[in-house]
Chains A and B, each alone.
Chain A
Amino acid sequence: GAGVSQSPSNKVTEKGKDVELRCDPISGHTALYWYRQSLGQGLEFLIYFQGNSAPDKSGLPSDRFSAERTGGSVSTLTIQRTQQEDSAVYLCASSLEIGAPTNEKLFFGSGTQLSVL
């Protein structure tokens, strides 16, 4: 597609349920990021995928959070046993990166607004 696509755009779930958030990056982009943005707050880094390298999971807040990236393209962020504090906008971004650090810009999706009741 033309940009980074995230689905669903909104998700309402009950406390204790599992949710899956999907990200379709721009075709050919080697790097993929997940960020979390709580109401009125900045972006909190969650996880980073780069090519075939092991992902950087250092930002995942607990073992209830996991993510995978299949075939170097689509990524799924899974939150198990959701809690109310998980309510936030989850943003995905992709980038064409070769090496680090880099000044390549990130292309962001419009995010998934997750509400845990």
Chain B
Amino acid sequence: AQTVTQSQPEMSVQEAETVTLSCTYDTSESDYYLFWYKQPPSRQMILVIRQEAYKQQNATENRFSVNFQKAAKSFSLKISDSQLGDAAMYFCAYRGGNKLVFGAGTILRVKS
């Protein structure tokens, strides 16, 4: 079964600085997708960024980018120029078939 591991329960970053959230996954599949979702206190999950495993180029979405290392099965999220509104729980997720499997999440705190 696929598993997703987020080894950082909590991270802090100063406003305007850069932070990287870690994620590793385990799979034997070759075709899959990876995602980062953000969950603010409202509980509603919001897609931040996604990556196709067959693409070598790392995905970017404005201040958000990923470092996808397929051989190492690593998929970290970099947030540049952190803003107070980035404070939330961040979940890494994997999809190789029907199910979207989530990691345990990382709480990101942004200090002003």
The A40-58 residues at the B interface (CB cut-off 8 A) are 41-43, 45, 48, 50, 56, 58
Q: What class of interface size applies to chain B in its complex with A?
A: 20 to 34
Q: Which residue of A lies closest to B101 (CB)?
A: A45
Asked if B102 contacts A103 (CB within 8 A), the reply is no
Which of A59, A100, A103, A106 meets B45, CB within 8 Å?
Answer: A106
Mind listing 30 A-B residue pairs with CB under 8 Å?
Answer: A33-B100, A35-B102, A42-B6, A42-B91, A42-B103, A42-B105, A45-B100, A45-B101, A45-B102, A48-B98, A58-B99, A59-B99, A91-B43, A91-B45, A100-B95, A101-B32, A101-B33, A102-B33, A103-B33, A103-B50, A103-B95, A105-B35, A105-B47, A105-B50, A106-B100, A108-B45, A108-B46, A110-B42, A110-B43, A110-B44
Is B31 in contact with chain A by the CB < 8 A criterion?
A: yes
Which of B35, B42, B98, B102 meets A56, CB within 8 Å?
Answer: B98
Is A25 in contact with chain B by the CB < 8 A criterion?
A: no
Q: Tell whether A102 pairs with B95 under 8 Å between CB atoms, given A91-B45, A111-B43.
A: yes
Q: Tell whether A48 pairs with B99 under 8 Å between CB atoms, given A42-B104, A91-B45, A101-B33.
A: yes
In the complex, chain B residues whose CB is within 8 Å of the CB of A33: 100
| Alpha-carbon distance A108/B52, docked complex (angstroms) | 21
